[in-house]
Amino acid sequence: MGVKMRYIEDDLKDKTILITGGAGFIGSNLAFYFQNNHPEANVVILDSFRSGETLSNGNLKSFGHFKNLIGFRGEIISGDINDKDLLLDLEVNYNFDYIFHEAAISDTTAQEQDLMIRTNVNAYKDLLDLAVAHDANMIYASSAATYGNAESPQRVGREAPNNVYGFSKLSMDHLSREYMKDCDISIVGLRYFNVYGANEYFKNSTASMVLQFGHQLLAGKNPRLFEGSDKILRDFIYIEDIIQANIKAMQPKESGIYNVGTAKARSFQDIVDILQKELGTMLPCEYIPNPFIGSYQFHTEADITTTKEGLGYEPAYEMEDGIKAYVAEIKRVYETEVKK
């Protein structure tokens, strides 16, 4: 399980790494990256594991799930980043060298503005203070949601968030820049575009359309796409390239906010066509009216020029490669979780 490719040659022996949101999609992949490639590093996971608690839209408040960590051998802490006593305990009883901050209220349709700002912005400031106290490099999850309907290709500095989630991530970026002025640690914000790959299933309805279409096809259902799906384009990025960017952000040329995408916009129709080829299906597509016209991004494409320069990042996976690498896991999850 987890990402196996090695992205840095540095010895992380006896280094201590904190991953917040470590039972989630990207955090768990990071955890296994270190376990597989740097087994002598000490990895500590902090996650607010899911309970029955939901947001007002009915979605779960936390997507952290123990099954994403089966096989992980490091330390696991169940806790909320809003808990200041917990953060004080981390400051006193640990000595972190790197902090990967993936924890967030990440549901873009969430209406709880107070919870979103408190969790995504205020708690992040506390974690920045922890990083400064420990002299630990900070790598955190920003988001392409900061761009809203900004013109493609999306570039850092051209933000126009149209929901509170995007606003909260942009606020994190502003806060980071203030810390960058006065701190000796490196701080890197990574604006993820549309990520897909292993361990996303427990995001439920917010999992990628790659997974959702894959399961529709495996169930023998006609894939349902919005009308004009061949013209609805997104920058879809495979989890392996997200991990690559995170690892290279441990030792950046300079602190900053960086886009993490492929710099290629692909359609939802492409996803279905590639999946049908990989799964050996030929089910006809059903096209339904798009109810989100007017509040829907029809084109996202990351400008990764500065990411290549600042991090040495180079996307390795075309969509065809990513889906091909992911298909076995899509099938496994379908058999073990969907069909049960």
Q: Is 200 left (phi over 0), alpha (psi -120 to 50) or beta?
A: alpha
Q: How far apart are CA 296 and CA 293, in angstroms?
A: 6
Q: Residue 139 gets which letter from DSSP?
A: E
Determine whether 203 is an active site residue: yes
Contacts 24+ apart (CB under 8 A), 54-61: 55/105, 55/107, 55/110, 55/111, 55/112, 55/115, 56/110, 56/111, 56/112, 57/107, 57/109, 57/110, 57/111, 59/107, 59/109, 59/110, 59/204, 59/205, 59/206, 60/204, 61/105
Q: How far apart are CA 210 and CA 275, in angstroms?
A: 8
Determine whether 165 is an active site residue: yes
Active-site annotation holder among 140, 165, 196, 313? 165
Q: Are 311 and 255 in contact (CB under 8 A)?
A: no
Active-site annotation holder among 203, 238, 313, 326? 203
Helix then strand then coil, in percent of the chain rounded to 5, is 40, 15, 40
Which residues are designated catalytic? 165, 203
